[in-house]
Amino acid sequence: MSRELINLIIQATGESLFMVSVAALLATFFGLPIGIFLATSRKGELFAAPAVNSILGMVVNATRSTPFIILVVAIIPFTRLIAGTSIGSGAAIVPLTIAATPFIARLVEGAIREVDGGLIETASSFGASPLQIVLKVLIPEALPGLVLALTLAVVSLLGYSAMVGAVGGGGLGDLGIRYGYQRFMPEMMLAVVVVLIALVQTVQTAGDYLARRVNRRLRHR
Amino acid sequence: MNVHQSLTAAQPVETPPVASAPTERDTMVRFESVSKIYPAYRDKPSVQALTGIDFAIPRGSITGVIGRSGAGKSSLVRLINGLEKPSAGRVVVDGRDISALAGRELRLAQRSIGMIFQHFNLLSSRTAADNIALPLEIAGWSRAEIAVRVAELLELVGIADKYDRYPSELSGGQKQRIGIARALATRPTVLLSDEATSALDPQTTRAILDLLANINRELGVTIVLITHEMSVVRQLAKEVVVIDGGEIVERGHVADIFTHPRHPVTQAFLSEVVGDSVPVSLASRLVAQPIAAGRAVIRLQVRGSNAGDTVVARLARELSIDVALLSARIDEIGGQHVGSLTIGIPGGEAAVKQAVTYLSQHNFPAERLGYVA
């Protein structure tokens, strides 16, 4: 493979990592509180607001059921509003974030719901406020699950990022389609797939390791 | 003035005189016509958990609340620390109507009410020391104050060497010790125990109950014990409240309730402890008709007499017969003998009648179960 092609792969990997990491950070920033709220706002729960809970749940479901490629195109005006442009890696972060936020919210909800309800009662029994319960009980106790949830979200984002080539987002997926498929360069396609596999493998292994490290239910000594 | 200011120096504990009517000062928790109804939700009908609960828990006492599962024990204890609100009536804790408090006021009041749980409810992500520190962090103590207090508490519950262990590395008994230390962290005046020993083996249960007795004695903390095990009440409590179907069916001093149980539920709980059933090996040999040269089998109840242990010897001497002891269980509860004896009386109908008369004259209710060879 020529020097130029290798440079293309390196550049595309950089674009993918940039889009995915910024989108993952933003989606966590928005998705974490939404997920915690979804997990604690049904009837009789900590922040009980059943009506808001079901409306938010429906919005989350609607976003998640929209195919990503349609979402990318459908929100182009919004993307332009936020990013100033609708093309390029920076602009691609907007649809990536919007797609990943509800996904992360649902995963966070699941992880938080895994926490034993008895612990919430216990913290309430010694006078903890709802916010203290979230910060001192729910998040620390759900941490292994949260780490795994975020790992899953990053891996999914790598998959989504292959589609943003449609709006000039660049990245590995775009490279694979344009050079590997449209210009019929199977070795390019193969290289892109190998790099993606390596990335996913690395993210998953790191996530698993971190989740084990923060899990105190396992014995460490 | 806080009676818990020092852990080491024991302060005199006020125990209310038994006979006099309890005054406001002597009462730690008072239920005033309390009812609790859980409203219907989705496909579940509404549940009347508690009805017309009226009683007082004396300051510095250890009070047992016993009942079968679903009797309303958990609702009762959760009304004391404001985790639940009564549907009617008031719950007054240390002179304050806890059922009227909400928000920040309630959370402040809850710091003077500790609670321990059947399944310990420790945070798996925190070490023993950090679990104990949690209520102090929530109460806004400084790091330095917390460190001092946590060290005291670890010492108090006897697990100082386990401070850096996570709950997954500890036994049930050790976990409950952390639970107790955590419940006492903010120096509460009341400690609620919700089946705290139900998940522990008998030996560990005894050790935990001893620890609770010590805490009551040395810190003067009023303890409310929720349990379905009579043996727990017997070992620890002075006062007992029996609840069934959401109502108090019997209450009083442990010794009185044990020796003269009136309600069927209390009697059932009691037989759990004293075991008044006939041994299987004996029951299989029992026949209804007298057997020549056989024995009549008589079961007698020992309830509150202080001579239960010598009754067989005295009966034998009095009637000059060889009384056979077939099975026996006698316990001492509150200084009184409680239990049942199964004995065999030889010598035909006359001797049996004489024996039964002797026993009932001396306050040992006796019944004839049958005959054995």
3-class secondary structure per residue, A169-186: CCCHHHHHHHHHHHCCCH
Check if CATH label 3.40.50.300 holds for domain B27-270.
yes
Q: Which of A42, A47, A115, A126 to substitute to test the interface with B, most B CBs within 10 Å? A: A126
CB distance A219–B106 less than 8 Å?
Answer: no
Q: How far is CA B33 from CA A216, B93, B134, in A?
A: 45, 15, 35
CB distance A119–B123 less than 8 Å?
Answer: yes
Specify burial of residue B12 (Cβ count, 10 A radius: 0-12, 13-18, 19+).
Answer: exposed
CB distance B83–A121 less than 8 Å?
Answer: yes
| Residue from the list B41, B81, B167 with its beta carbon closest to the beta carbon of A125 | B81
Q: What angle, 0 to 180 degrees and rounded to 10, lies between the N-to-C axes of helices A89-113 and A50-65?
A: 130
For chain A, the domains span 3-214
d(CA B173, CA B170): 8
d(CA A193, CA B298): 88
> Which has more confidence, A199 or B11?
A199
Interval B148-172: pLDDT, tens: 999 999 999 999 999 999 999 999 9
Query: Residues 46-75, chain B: which have Cβ within 8 Å of A?
Result: none
Residues in B touching A218 (Cβ below 8 Å):
168
pLDDT at B290: 82
Q: Please give the distance of CA A113 from its chain centroid, rounded to a whole number.
A: 19
Residues in A touching B169 (Cβ below 8 Å):
219, 221
Q: Which two tokens stand for residue B119?
A: 């399944």
Residue B237 near residue B60, CB atoms below 8 Å? no
Q: Is A121 helix (H, G, I), strand (E, B) or coil?
A: helix
Mean pLDDT comparison of A102-111, A171-180, B22-31, B229-238, highest-scoring range: A102-111
pLDDT at B274: 66
As a whole number, mean pLDDT of residues B277-288 equals: 78
d(CA B304, CA A191): 89
Would the pLDDT of B1 be above 50? no
Would the pLDDT of B3 be above 70? no
d(CA A97, CA B359): 87
pLDDT at B281: 78
Determine what percent of chain A is predicted with pLDDT higher than 90.
74
d(CA A141, CA A39): 14
CB distance A126–B186 less than 8 Å?
Answer: yes
Q: Which amino acid is at B186?
A: T
Residue among B90, B93, B271, B121 at smallest CA distance from B194: B121
Q: Counting every residue, how long is chain B?
A: 373
Residue of A nearest to B115 (CA): A125
- To the nearest whole number, what is the mean pLDDT of chain B? 85
Q: Which two tokens stand for residue B32?
A: 């005033």
When pLDDT is cut at 50, 70 and 90, the band that residue B213 belongs to is very high
Please give the sequence-ordered ranges of beta strands (E in DSSP) within B68-196, or none if there are none. Answer: 88-93, 96-97, 113-117, 190-194
Residue A180 near residue A12, CB atoms below 8 Å? no
Q: Which of A115, A122, A146 to substitute to test the interface with B, most B CBs within 10 Å? A: A122
pLDDT at B10: 42
Residue B185: CB partners within 8 Å, gap ≥ 6? Answer: A126, B114, B132, B133, B134, B135, B136, B149, B150, B153
Q: Which residues pair with B34 in a beta bridge?
A: B53
What spatial distance separates the first Cα and last Cα of chain B, rounded to whole Å? Answer: 70
Would the pLDDT of B9 be above 80? no
Please give the sequence-ordered ranges of beta strands (E in DSSP) within A77-125, or none if there are none. Answer: none
Would the pLDDT of B17 be above 50? no
Interval A5-55: pLDDT, tens: 899 999 999 999 999 999 999 999 999 999 999 999 998 888 999 999 999
When pLDDT is cut at 50, 70 and 90, the band that residue B182 belongs to is very high
Residue A136 near residue B125, CB atoms below 8 Å? no
pLDDT at B102: 85
As a whole number, mean pLDDT of residues B22-51 equals: 85
Predicted-complex ipTM score: 0.85
Q: Would the pTM count as exceeding 0.90?
A: no
For chain B, the domains span 27-270, 280-372
Interval A171-216: pLDDT, tens: 898 898 888 888 998 999 999 999 999 999 999 999 999 999 988 8
Would the pLDDT of B119 be above 70? yes
Interval A46-88: pLDDT, tens: 899 999 999 999 999 999 999 998 999 899 999 999 988 888 8
Q: How many CB pairs under 8 A join A and B?
A: 74
Residue of A nearest to B183 (CA): A126
Q: Edge-to-edge, what's the strand order for the sheet holding B96-97?
A: B47-58, B27-38, B88-93, B96-97
pLDDT at B12: 43
Of A47-51, A64-68, B191-195, B335-339, where does mean pLDDT reach its minimum? B335-339
Residue B39 is classified by DSSP as: P
pLDDT at B346: 85
Residue of B nearest to A141 (CA): B125
Residues in B touching A216 (Cβ below 8 Å):
124-126, 166-168
Interval B79-104: pLDDT, tens: 999 998 999 999 999 989 998 888 88
The distance of B104 to chain A (nearest Cα, Å) reads 8
d(CA B65, CA B230): 10
Q: Which amino acid is at A176?
A: G
Residue B136 near residue B195, CB atoms below 8 Å? no
The distance of B123 to chain A (nearest Cα, Å) reads 7
| Residue from the list B123, B169, B186 with its beta carbon closest to the beta carbon of A137 | B123
Q: Which amino acid is at A40?
A: T
Interval B130-151: pLDDT, tens: 999 999 999 999 999 999 999 9
Q: Which two tokens stand for residue A45?
A: 């729960």
Residue of B nearest to A139 (CA): B125
| Residue from the list B111, B124, B138 with its beta carbon closest to the beta carbon of A136 | B138
pLDDT at B23: 61
Q: Which residues pair with B368 in a beta bridge?
A: B298
pLDDT at B211: 94
pLDDT at A96: 95
The distance of B345 to chain A (nearest Cα, Å) reads 56
Specify burial of residue B157 (Cβ count, 10 A radius: 0-12, 13-18, 19+).
Answer: buried
> Which has more confidence, A219 or B160?
B160
Residues in A touching B126 (Cβ below 8 Å):
140, 216
> Which has more confidence, B24 or B187?
B187
Of B145-149, B305-309, B367-371, where does mean pLDDT reach its minimum? B305-309
d(CA A91, CA A163): 13
Query: Residues 111-140, chain B: which have Cβ within 8 Å of A?
Result: 111, 113-115, 117, 119, 121, 123-126, 134-135, 137-139
Residue of A nearest to B119 (CA): A118
Residue A176 near residue A116, CB atoms below 8 Å? no
Tell me phi and psi for residue B111, to 5 degrees: -70, -20
CB distance B134–A218 less than 8 Å?
Answer: no
Q: Is B83 helix (H, G, I), strand (E, B) or coil?
A: coil
Q: Which two tokens stand for residue B277?
A: 């059933």
pLDDT at A41: 94
Residue of A nearest to B103 (CA): A129
Q: Which of A124, A125, A129 to substitute to test the interface with B, most B CBs within 10 Å? A: A125
pLDDT at B19: 45
Residue among A202, A150, A211 at smallest CA distance from A25: A150
Q: Which amino acid is at B355?
A: A
Would the pLDDT of B24 be above 80? no
Residue of A nearest to B79 (CA): A125
Write down the residue that tokens 């239960």 correspond to: B308
CATH number for the domain running over A3-214: 1.10.3720.10
Fold annotation for B280-372: Alpha-Beta Plaits (3.30.70)
